[in-house]
Amino acid sequence: MAAGIRPAGSGGAYEPTDRTVPTRSRERAAYDRESVHSMLDEAYVCHLGFVRDGAPVVLPTLFARVEDRLYVHGSTGSRPLRMAGEPDPGLAVCLTVTHVDGLVLARSAFHHSINYRSVVVHGTAHQVTDPDEKRSALDALVDHVIPGRSRDSRPANAKELAATAVLRLDLNEVSAKVRTGDPDDEPEDLTLPYWTGVVPLVTQHGTPIPAPDLDASIPVPGYLATR
């Protein structure tokens, strides 16, 4: 199977650790900040893993990156948010994002695969308690979904802020992994009469659909019209 790794960006690279070096297909691993940040910024949902009562738990949730820091959205009643708010050392977590770029159809069932880009982050999450940082983090979460939207919506009021919690996770122990390219069939299978190749998958933004109660005089914002 082919590997595709972007060249190191000008922002340097994350230092590999025992937890961020893959045990398989190490040639697909990437640690440069440019690749990692672009994959994080393109994703809308992350999966947050942690241990609760001795058992692993993985939750999908919204997140946003601000430089070398991730902010994860949650409710103040959420168990991981309460755990992260407890005294030092915070909550040990593993956060992941994955993009599926194509379905790889080989001649043999064994060599079917997907083309993908993924990021894995290990670290200790802490609940954001500083009011200014929390407001900035919530703005970043909104703008991560639609850039510019935080300036075009009502900010959270005191009641909403009290019901919302935010986790902070620094990007220190990070790795990306990428698979690109064609199927990797065995030489003896090349003459088999089966179609083989890649089916690309693309995420697209559709035409904005106004809410039924929207004032008809309010136009579609420019940041939506250009998507």
Residues with Cβ within 8 Å of 99's Cβ and at least 6 positions away in sequence, in order, are 39, 42, 43, 116, 117, 118
Q: Residue 192: inside a domain, yes or no?
A: yes
Q: Is residue 117 part of a domain?
A: yes
Kindly state the average pLDDT of the residues 51-72: 94
Sequence letter at residue 220:
V
Q: Return the minimum-mean-pLDDT range out of 44-58, 65-79, 123-137, 200-214.
A: 65-79
Among 118, 114, 112, CA closest to 47: 118
**How many structural domains is the chain composed of?**
1
Q: Which amino acid is at 100?
A: V
User: Per the domain annotation, does 20 fall within a domain?
Assistant: no
Judge whether 17 lies within some domain.
Answer: no
**What is the band of 90 on the pLDDT scale with cuts at 50, 70, 90?**
confident
Cα distance between residue 12 and residue 15, in whole Å = 10
In this structure, how many other beta carbons lie within 10 angstroms of the beta carbon of residue 224? 15
**Longest CA pairwise span in the chain (Å):** 67
H-only helix segments in 71-225: 79-84, 131-145, 158-163, 222-225
Q: Tell me, what CATH number does 106's domain have?
A: 2.30.110.10
19 in any annotated domain? no
Average of per-residue pLDDT values in the chain: 88
Structural domain including 140 reads 26-200+215-225
Identify the pLDDT of residue 78. Answer: 63
Q: Decide if 39 is inside a domain.
A: yes
Give the mean model confidence (pLDDT) for residues 38-52: 95
**Tell me: the pLDDT tens digits for 163-212?**
899 999 999 999 999 999 999 999 999 999 999 999 999 988 899 999 99
Q: Does residue 113 sit within a domain?
A: yes
- Identify the band that residue 6 occupies on the pLDDT scale cut at 50, 70 and 90: very low
Residue-wise pLDDT for 128-146, tens only, equals 989 999 999 999 999 999 9
Q: Is residue 7 part of a domain?
A: no
Give the closest residue to 49 by CA, choosing from 163, 125, 140, 137: 125
